[in-house]
Amino acid sequence: MSKAEKRLAAFKTLLADAHTRLALEFGFRLWDGATVPADWPSDALTIAIADEGAVAALTRAPRLPTLANLWAARRLDILNGTIFDLVAKRPKARSRELRRNLLNPAALGVGLRFLFTPRGGPWPLESVAQDRESDGSEAENKRNIAQHYDVSNAFYRLWLDEEMVYTCAYFHDWSDSLDQAQRNKLDMVCRKLRLAPGETMLDIGSGWGSLAFHAARNYGVKVVGVTLSKEQIGFAREKAERLGLADRVSFELQDYALLEGRDRFDKISSIGMFEAIGASHFSTYFETLRRLLKPGGLYLHHAITRPGKRGADLGANAGGGKKRPEFAALTRYIFPGGELDHLGRTIASLESHGFEIHDVEGWREHYQRTCRFWHDRLLARYDEACGEVGEATTRVWLAYLASCSIVFSRNACGIYQTLASKRVKGASGLPPTRADLYR
Name the residues annotated as catalytic: 404
Count the Cβ atoms, other than its own, within 10 Å of residue 148: 17
Do 170 and 190 form a contact (C-beta atoms < 8 A)? no
Closest Cα to residue 106, out of 232, 27, 200, 9?
9
DSSP string over 198-239:
T-EEEEES-TTSHHHHHHHHHH--EEEEEES-HHHHHHHHHH
Count Cβ atoms below 10 Å from residue 246 Cβ, excluding itself.
14
Task: Give the C-alpha separation, 298 to 334, whole Å.
Answer: 31
Residue 169 per-residue DSSP state: -
Contact in structure between 11 and 49 (CB atoms under 8 Å) = no
Question: Distances in Å between the alpha carbon of 27 and those of 47, 84, 217?
Answer: 6, 16, 54
- Bridge partners (DSSP) of residue 380 are none
Amino acid at 146: A
Cα–Cα distance, 389 to 155 (Å, whole number): 7
Q: Judge if the upstream peptide bond of residue 122 is cis by omega within 30 degrees of 0.
A: yes
What is the crossing angle of helices 230-242 and 138-149, to 10°? 70
Cα separation, 35 vs 44, whole angstroms = 11
- In whole angstroms, give the CA distance from residue 378 to residue 389: 12
Length of the chain: 439
Give DSSP secondary structure letters for 13-78. Answer: HHHHHHHHHTT-SSEEE-TTS-EESTT--TTS-EEEE--HHHHHHHHH--SHHHHHHHHHTTSEEE
The answer to whether the beta carbons of residues 338 and 326 sit under 8 Å apart is no
Which segments within 115-211 are labelled E, that is strand?
A: 200-204
**Which pairs count as long-range contacts for 174-181, CB under 8 Å and 24+ apart, including other chains?**
174/369, 178/370, 178/373, 178/374, 178/377, 181/366, 181/369, 181/370
